């Protein structure tokens, strides 16, 4: 009788080429890779210097997303000289090594973790690696994705394999029914706050439970995307009928008989009854409130209706020091109501929350309202296809009427790597994934929250419980 295995073990076992030692290191076969212009240049240079070719060019999809401008009118020219060199070299590498590229003028262009799923490039059971930590997003499709460094990108391009160390397994069971105005972003923020920014270090997380099953695929992507902010190097959910329906009509999904065979296989990809996890965590979201961050780490978060915590109440001296540093950087005082925090900017975008479902929620909040006079509000769709769909559905006009900037797709202000940068002292309500010091610009202050919460803050000009808008509707 076989030993029950977790879904993580099934992924790794089925992709192990050989075992390298008794410390958990294996040579792991990688099904797909997504490359961008920012993390790939050194890897391609290494390939050129060694005279190597890409082993399986069709296994890599290349997307320009990090450094491109997102101004409302799309242009091919990069205004920044450094960005222009990165994009030009990326285009040269893709051409010379036979890799398909979605450049900035391609109608399929967008943020890599939005583009790859919407193209059907990621499928259940796959192991995916990419030079971006938020590759964990693909776990929402029943794949196993993780981020890698530049030297690993080169190894992957050359061999389609990676030296990989097995992780411990953690199951996070999410129970309860989400209330109105509470989103999947609030679930993952609550988990990170509960276990800490390093709480899942060394683990792969499997999310399970009725609250997860009730979520849409796009909402699940948000959770898997931000699991890395708890230290996880992988996060996923077992594929179910929602995943299969999401994938069936995607351009690169299997068709005909191949689809039927794939579906049969995918339905076996779940943790076995009796499988043992190294750690179990449970979360009840029945009473969960919309969350916002108050500090400079994703685990420094609290319900929007609460107050800024007091470092003096923290018994751990290291944590207390970190809290005090965060409050100083953020310009906040202990015990002040979070709803008193006035913002200067509102940003809706990123690989965490810039899909069509997110934009529909934003439109529901801002329809017929106006952005506060002192707030600059931006919406950057996750892909050009999402942008087109939002325009076709009339969402874009709602945003424009409300006073939002409606921009082209790209990573944008998530990491301030292009011209979308906050100034020192600016305070932004943001639907992104990281609120580190300087993440959106040197000296800038970031508060993470769901897209609907960002929309509410943009309208009122301060951190606001979006449920108040629902009551007015």
Instruction: Work out the pLDDT band at 81, boundaries 50, 70, 90.
Output: confident
Q: What per-residue confidence (pLDDT) applies to 419?
A: 84
- Average pLDDT over all residues of the chain: 96
Of the candidates 120, 119, 116, 121, which has an alpha carbon nearest to the alpha carbon of residue 132?
Answer: 116
Tokens of 434: 């990281």
Domain 168-239+272-284 classified CATH 2.30.130.10? no
Distance (Å, whole) CA 11 – CA 77: 41
Q: What percent of the chain has pLDDT over 70?
A: 99
Instruction: Give the position of tokens 């292009």.
Output: 418
Tokens of 59: 């296994």
Sheet holding 16-19, edge to edge: 16-19, 25-29, 161-165
Q: What per-residue confidence (pLDDT) applies to 115?
A: 98
Distance (Å, whole) CA 132 – CA 147: 5
Residue 180 has pLDDT above 50, yes or no: yes
Contact 118, 140 (CB under 8 A): no
DSSP state of 138: G
Contact 419, 313 (CB under 8 A): no
Distance (Å, whole) CA 72 – CA 456: 23
Distance (Å, whole) CA 87 – CA 84: 5
Residue 370 has pLDDT above 50, yes or no: yes
* Class for the domain spanning 291-472: alpha beta
Cα separations in angstroms, 454 against 404, 437, 457? 12, 19, 5
Please give the span between the terminal C-alpha atoms of the chain, in angstroms, as a whole number.
57
Distance (Å, whole) CA 67 – CA 417: 6
Q: What per-residue confidence (pLDDT) applies to 471?
A: 53
Let me know if the fold of 7-165+240-266 is the same as that of 291-472. Answer: yes
Domain parsing of the chain, residue ranges: 7-165+240-266, 168-239+272-284, 291-472
Distance (Å, whole) CA 402 – CA 390: 15
DSSP characters for 65-113? -SSS---SS--SS-SSHHHHHHHHHHHHHHHHHT-EEE-TTSTT-B-HH
Contacts of 49 (CB under 8 A, 6+ apart): none
Residue 473 has pLDDT above 50, yes or no: no
- The alpha carbon of 378 is separated from its chain's Cα centroid by a whole number of angstroms, namely 18
- Mean pLDDT over 329-342 rounds to 98
- Mean pLDDT over 224-253 rounds to 97
Q: What per-residue confidence (pLDDT) applies to 472?
A: 53
Q: What per-residue confidence (pLDDT) applies to 1?
A: 66
- Mean pLDDT over 332-349 rounds to 98
Architecture of the domain defined by 7-165+240-266 = 2-Layer Sandwich (3.30)
pLDDT of 284-323, one tens digit each?
A: 999 999 999 999 999 999 999 999 999 999 999 999 999 9
DSSP state of 337: B
Distance (Å, whole) CA 261 – CA 46: 39
Q: What per-residue confidence (pLDDT) applies to 470?
A: 65
Q: What per-residue confidence (pLDDT) applies to 307?
A: 98
Instruction: Give the position of tokens 């006079």.
Output: 373
345: helix, coil or strand? strand
Distance (Å, whole) CA 148 – CA 67: 19
């Amino acid at each position: 009788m076989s030993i029950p295995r977790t879904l993580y073990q099934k992924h790794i076992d089925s992709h192990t080429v050989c075992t390298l030692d008794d410390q958990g290191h294996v040579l792991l076969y990688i099904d797909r890779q997504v490359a961008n212009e920012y993390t790939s240049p050194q890897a391609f240079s290494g390939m050129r210097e060694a005279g190597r070719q890409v082993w399986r060019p069709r296994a890599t999809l290349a997307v320009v997303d990090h450094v491109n401008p997102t101004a409302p009118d799309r242009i091919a020219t990069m205004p920044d000289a450094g960005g222009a060199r990165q994009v030009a070299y990326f285009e040269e590498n893709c051409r010379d090594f036979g890799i398909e590229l979605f450049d900035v003028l391609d109608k399929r262009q967008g943020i890599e973790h939005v583009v790859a799923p919407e193209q059907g490039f990621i499928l259940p059971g796959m192991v995916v690696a990419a030079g971006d930590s938020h590759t964990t997003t693909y776990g929402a499709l029943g794949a196993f994705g993780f981020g890698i460094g530049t030297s690993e990108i080169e190894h992957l391009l050359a061999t389609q394999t990676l030296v990989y160390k097995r992780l411990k397994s953690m199951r996070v069971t999410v129970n309860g029914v989400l209330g109105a105005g509470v989103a999947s972003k609030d679930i993952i923020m609550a988990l990170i706050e509960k276990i800490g920014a390093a709480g899942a270090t060394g683990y792969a997380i499997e999310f399970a439970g009725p609250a997860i099953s009730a979520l849409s695929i796009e909402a699940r992507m948000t959770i898997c995307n931000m699991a890395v902010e708890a230290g996880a190097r992988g996060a996923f959910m077992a594929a179910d009928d929602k995943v299969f329906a999401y994938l069936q009509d995607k351009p690169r999904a299997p068709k005909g008989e191949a689809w039927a065979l794939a579906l049969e296989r995918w339905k076996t990809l779940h943790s076995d009854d009796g499988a043992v996890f190294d750690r179990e965590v449970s979360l009840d979201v029945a009473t969960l409130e919309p969350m916002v961050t108050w500090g400079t780490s994703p685990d420094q978060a609290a319900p929007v209706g609460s107050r800024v915590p007091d470092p003096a109440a923290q018994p751990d001296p290291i944590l207390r020091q970190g809290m005090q540093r965060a409050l100083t950087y953020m310009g906040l005082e202990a015990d002040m109501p979070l709803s008193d925090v006035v913002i200067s900017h509102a940003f809706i975008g990123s690989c965490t929350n810039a899909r069509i479902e997110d934009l529909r929620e934003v439109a529901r909040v801002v329809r017929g309202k106006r952005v506060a006079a002192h707030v600059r509000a931006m919406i950057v769709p996750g892909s050009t296809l999402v942008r087109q769909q939002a325009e076709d559905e009339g969402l874009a006009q709602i945003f424009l009427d409300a006073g939002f900037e409606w921009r082209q797709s790209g990573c944008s202000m998530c990491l301030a790597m292009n011209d979308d940068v906050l100034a020192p002292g600016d305070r932004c309500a943001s639907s992104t994934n990281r609120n580190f010091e300087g993440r959106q610009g040197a000296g800038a202050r970031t508060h993470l929250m769901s897209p609907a919460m960002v929309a509410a803050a943009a309208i009122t000009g301060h951190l606001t419980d979006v449920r108040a808008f629902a009551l007015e509707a």
